[in-house]
């Protein structure tokens, strides 16, 4: 127990030290990028539903600067199948999504510095369209996600319907 406690104290000290280190100031994102990201602000919150053969949950933060961060999980028969950590940011005037996938033991699928990118196609007050992925607000409490997935027998679109849920 003492070893676990010592390791925890050491980890907390490392985090506190790293957070306290002076860093170069990060420039504020351009106002145009912040405005573009506001098109995605409706996505913020917790969404739940069924799809991909199980229960799905997706959570998104409010925009900060010109970014939003989210996470997703798929659960089948009470066991987690995989997780995703996602980042929405602005490139070339459009909203892009980058995703990193993880097994239930948090071993990543992509290389350390890699991710899967969904490049921007268009965005509006109710729809974020990417190459291979579309997020559409049906109403204030319903999200429809259409994603193109590559299976062994070919590619096909999967439609996920999620509903806004409390934390």
The full set of domains in the chain, from first to last, is 29-165 (2.40.128.20)
Nearest-angstrom CA–CA distance, 73 and 75: 7
Looking at residue 138, its pLDDT comes to 97
Looking at residue 28, its pLDDT comes to 87
Looking at residue 2, its pLDDT comes to 55
Looking at residue 74, its pLDDT comes to 98
Digit-coded pLDDT (tens) for 18-45: 555 556 778 889 998 999 899 899 999 9
| C-alpha dihedral sign at 5, 11, 106, 46 | positive
pTM recorded for the entire structure: 0.82
Residues of the chain with pLDDT under 50: 7-8, 12-17
**Both tokens assigned to 1:** 């127990």
Looking at residue 19, its pLDDT comes to 54
Looking at residue 60, its pLDDT comes to 98
The alpha carbon of 35 is separated from its chain's Cα centroid by a whole number of angstroms, namely 20
Measured CA to CA in angstroms, residue 78 lies from 46, 51, 55, 120 at distances of 19, 14, 9, 34
Looking at residue 25, its pLDDT comes to 79
């Amino acid at each position: 127990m003492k070893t676990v406690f010592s390791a925890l104290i050491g980890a907390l000290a490392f985090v506190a030290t790293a957070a306290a280190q002076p860093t170069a100031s990060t420039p504020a994102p351009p106002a145009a990028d912040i405005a573009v990201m506001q098109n995605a602000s409706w996505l913020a919150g917790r969404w739940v539903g069924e799809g991909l053969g199980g229960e799905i949950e997706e959570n998104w933060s409010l925009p900060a600067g010109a970014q939003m961060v989210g996470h997703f999980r798929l659960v089948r028969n009470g066991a987690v199948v995989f997780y995703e950590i996602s980042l929405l940011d602005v490139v070339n005037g459009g909203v892009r999504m980058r995703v990193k996938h993880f097994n239930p033991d948090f071993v990543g699928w992509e290389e350390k510095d890699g991710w899967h990118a969904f490049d921007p196609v268009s965005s509006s007050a109710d729809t974020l369209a990417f190459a291979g992925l579309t997020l559409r607000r049906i109403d204030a409490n319903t999200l429809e996600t259409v994603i193109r997935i590559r299976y062994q027998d070919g590619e096909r679109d999967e439609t996920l319907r999620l509903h806004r849920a409390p934390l």
